[in-house]
Amino acid sequence: MMKAGKILLLLLCLHVFSYAVISAQPQTCPAENAGECGDSDGWEGEFFPGIPTIKYEGPSSKNHLAFKYYNAEEEILGKKMKDWFRFSVAFWHTFRGTGGDPFGAQTKFWPWEDGTNSLNMAKRRMRANFEFLNKLGTDWWCFHDRDIAPDGKTLEEANANLDEVVALASKLQKENNKKVLWGTAQLFMHPRYMHGAATSSELGVYAYAAAQVKKAMEVTHYLGGENYVFWGGREGYQSLLNTDMERELNHLARFLEAAVAYKKKIGFNGTLLIEPKPQEPTKHQYDWDAATTANFLRKYGLIGDFKLNIECNHATLSGHSCHHDLETARINGLLGNIDANTGDPQVGWDTDQFLTDIGEATMIMLSVIKNGGLAPGGFNFDAKLRRESTDVEDLFIAHIIGMDTMARGLRNAAKLIEDGSLAELVRKRYQSFDGELGAQVEAGKADFETLEKKVREMGEPKVPSAKQELAEMIFQSAL
């Protein structure tokens, strides 16, 4: 009898233990039941255990989880480092990047992922995002609507999903004193956008894109976002044989005009940004580079309503350097934000690598300093881990080297400006325009007859050296 009682007690204990284990497992929330899952995301504890808050330790530090050059509170040229940069984490690459590519499947399996695209999983990623921001020491983040919340079978369902995740994001922002640098709508992945969004040949798609942007602008405004980005990944063509390019460009302009009107209607004071890219995924995208986009804005009378979000890898794909597109945007009064990444010169597509080239970072910062900074824009790390980098700590290491590289660029640019040799070389190169005749030319008051008369007086002009090698020597001395 006693033996039977012990067996019964043992079975009861096993039942209780099994129930406790099952209850402790993270609960998932399938997307089709998105509205019925409650607030808990089923994750306890830290997302990044063992990762400390990243501190500045100086150039001699051997700690790979520390900054060597980025010292947030240090003042350079009258402004704190953190204010020059306003670094932001891109939610889509950091928390939705899987390492998959056209030739291979997913390689990254983060501990907090449960294999679903549910609302509960979306909330879990959002909490991971804010822990990451806190440990990295950055104040800003960026998002696409469909990256932070699952899509729905209807627009209403998609909007409801987004509202639920945004409510959590708002709460976490307040608790952690973080901000949205910019938000945007993902108008390129869904099959409905295969012909484009604002340039689609189908009116229904154009209308759906407008509704999606309307909602994305609303939630960006609700979260206190300081900018809103338009990236036309499929706003272009594969062949002109079946494309009415003029009509598509007109439609794109009308779409952006409607966005400006809605921005004003809801009282959103953020900057509207357009992100140029030449091709990929389309053969030709209409916002090819900074110059093309500036021309488009001027033609349609939108030049005062938009600025540009320059992505370095996109600039190089269009045949320019990042420095070139930044300068093009700056001298047109359009430089608003930078997506800090780079490509590989041996790879012909958009690889979205973290920028680690000190020379490139220095040239970027020369433009940013001339621009007086980027606020209300900043530097968004639209960059992803390499497919083969699969440790959680790699997320931190990648951002650390990206931030350190830009910090070194700032320090070098400040050296060049304070030294003055490079600026003096450029000044001397154009000093022939500093006289009376040059002033007339630059004021638009020198006609051809006047210039011909001066040539007869001066004779054959003497053309001095451009001193390019000296310019490069001065530049390299600062690195």
Residues annotated as catalytic (active site), given as ranges: 144
The DSSP line for 170-227 is: HHHHHHHT-EEEEEE---SSSGGGTT-STT-S-HHHHHHHHHHHHHHHHHHHHTT-SE
Residue 131 identity? E
Q: Give the number of other CB atoms < 10 A from CB of residue 31.
A: 20
Which residue, among 381, 305, 385, 311, has the nearest Cα to 86 in the 3D structure?
381
- CA distance linking residue 378 with residue 455, whole number of Å: 48
- CA distance linking residue 15 with residue 252, whole number of Å: 63
Q: Do the Cβ atoms of 275 and 287 come closer than 8 Å?
A: yes
Q: State yes or no: cis peptide before 376, omega within 30 of 0.
A: yes
Assigned token pair, 233 = 């990944």
Q: Do the Cβ atoms of 284 and 236 come closer than 8 Å?
A: yes
- CA distance linking residue 432 with residue 440, whole number of Å: 12
User: What Rg, from alpha-carbon coordinates, does the chain have?
Assistant: 27
**In 1-118, which ranges are continuous DSSP H helix?**
2-24, 81-85, 91-96
Which residue, among 223, 213, 226, has the nearest Cα to 184 in the 3D structure?
213
Q: Taking the CA atoms of 145, 149, 154 and 157 in sequence, report the sign of the dihedral they define.
A: negative
Q: With 0-12 CB in 10 A as exposed, 13-18 as middle and 19+ as buried, what is 338?
A: buried
Question: Percent helix, strand and coil across the chain, each rounded to 5?
Answer: 50, 10, 40
Q: Do the Cβ atoms of 219 and 183 come closer than 8 Å?
A: yes
Helix (H) or strand (E) holding 474: helix 468-477
Helix (H) or strand (E) holding 135: helix 119-136
